[in-house]
Amino acid sequence: KWRPAFTWRMPALAGGTAVVLAAYGRLVLCNPAVMQDGFGFNRYACIQMTNYKKNGFLVSFTGSIANLSIDTPTYFQPGLSGLYEVPPPAEEEPDIRETPHIIVVMSESYTDFRSIRDLPLTEPAMPFFDTLMARDNVVSGELLVSIFGGGTCNTEFEFLTGGSMLFLQDGVIPYSSYMKRPTHSVCSLLKEQGYRNVAVHPYIRTFWDRHTVYPNLGFDEFISMEDFEDPEIVRSFISDRSCFERIVEEFEQTGDDERLFLYAVTMQNHFPYYVDEDRLGGIQHHIQLNGLTDMESAEMYFSLLRQSDDALRYLVKYFEAQKEPVILVFFGDHLPGNNQELMPFYEYMFEGEIANLNLVQTRQMYETPFFVWSNTIDLPKQEIEIISPNLLGAYVLDAAGARMSPYFEYVNGLRSAVSAINSKTIIDTANRAYDRTNLSSDLESLMNRYWVYVYDNIVRDND
């Protein structure tokens, strides 16, 4: 007599259990902190092949699709292809010799900590940078990024696409989650105007899926670490000097009737900053923090920063000597990673534990320096208090005299009301900070339209 009851209850019980397990499993599998702390899984978002190999299909796949859950914007309507059309020249096509080459350097972990407090360094870490900032033809300021200590490709994503991490899920990596089709970008826009587009990154070709993303952004060539012959090695990374020498090589290979857009991502100053004999190779400076203890890793970082400054001097001096117009854009991707070795330094900088930062200090954790300089173009001396990578990319197009699509016209136009945007914050031109929940009606209208454009360009049919 118990069998019929069992056969009825068992499917119900199994079904109910499956629902509970599925719900619980989603909460666990889609939570990177729980997976790492509770089960020992580490997410390898930067290289999906490694992610699947180390963690298996279920953990990797579930963690990836969790980031794809994005609601379509309320006001979205299909048929926005006109957003990406580059208008024809207003008059005759300008002489190519008057069009600037554009060189962009995103420098790994490049930070000016003096914007937070003075440092008792035994020698300057950025002497040439300081000299350059005093010149009349430099636009400079702070860059509000969306990441701290890692996730370089998200700063890169914002600069190249004009999109913003503000609209995407926490922890999402657009290069891995989207970017699977041709995507409108600074690169593709310049390509339509005759530029030869080259990406340089002296590290693993597949890192952050750049090998598949770059062609979809409009790059003609991707030079990775495999393409460097006998480069200078600092610790275990290709040096900034070798990276910049490759930039010069690409510039010299550009014909008189061509213009070069080159986007370089350096590696020399990447964490970790362990101070041991195996990791000191190639470091040419030894900067110390006077009177401070447990600062060996920070001292290594500042010594590396000085070596980057030497390389920057080489790059600027080279382009100063060129007759063809060049615009050089330089910025840091994020602050150096706060691993255990750097904890004493960060606690010194902020005079307390990182967990107890106030709002001003928290914002400083997401600010890196940037500058725009040209050898021949008259860029009026200007200090921009703060800007973000998405707005900086549009600014550079404008400064170069490029014809902008309606998409980038809109992004550039945001600067009349907005100074900077990152994944959590919108800063208006009066330096007031907002999050997505407390916007004024005017800012909300601007952001809603911006999200429609970003969704169409980045998310739609791209997952």
DSSP string, 330-347: EEESSPPP--GGGHHHHH
pTM listed for this prediction: 0.86
Task: Give the pLDDT of residue 60.
Answer: 59
Helix, strand counts (H, E) of the chain: 15, 13
| CB-based contacts of 416, cutoff 8 Å, min separation 6 | 429
Task: Give the pLDDT of residue 103.
Answer: 99
Which helix (H) or strand (E) covers residue 123, if one does? none
The mean per-residue pLDDT over the stretch 173-199 comes to 96
CA distance 61 to 383: 45
Q: How far is CA 374 from CA 101, 317, 330, in A?
A: 10, 11, 11
pLDDT band at 115 (very low <50, low <70, confident <90, very high): very high
* End-to-end Cα spacing for the chain: 53
Judged against a pLDDT cut of 50, whether residue 278 lies above it is answered with: yes
pLDDT digits (tens, 9 = 90+) for 331-386: 999 999 977 889 999 999 999 998 899 999 999 999 999 999 999 999 888 889 99
Closest CA to 64 of 29, 19, 38: 29
Task: Give the pLDDT of residue 64.
Answer: 54
Query: Tokens standing for 463?
Result: 């997952």
Which has the higher per-residue pLDDT, 35 or 267?
A: 267
Task: Give the pLDDT of residue 280.
Answer: 77
* Exposed / middle / buried, residue 166 (Cβ in 10 Å: 0-12, 13-18, 19+): buried
| Beta bridge pairs of residue 421 | 426
pLDDT band at 398 (very low <50, low <70, confident <90, very high): very high
Q: How far is CA 344 from CA 155, 299, 313, 340, in A?
A: 26, 12, 31, 8
The mean per-residue pLDDT over the stretch 52-66 comes to 62
Domains of the chain: 17-65 (no CATH), 101-459 (3.40.720.10)
Closest CA to 135 of 393, 388, 401, 381: 381
Task: Give the pLDDT of residue 10.
Answer: 47
CA distance 96 to 193: 10
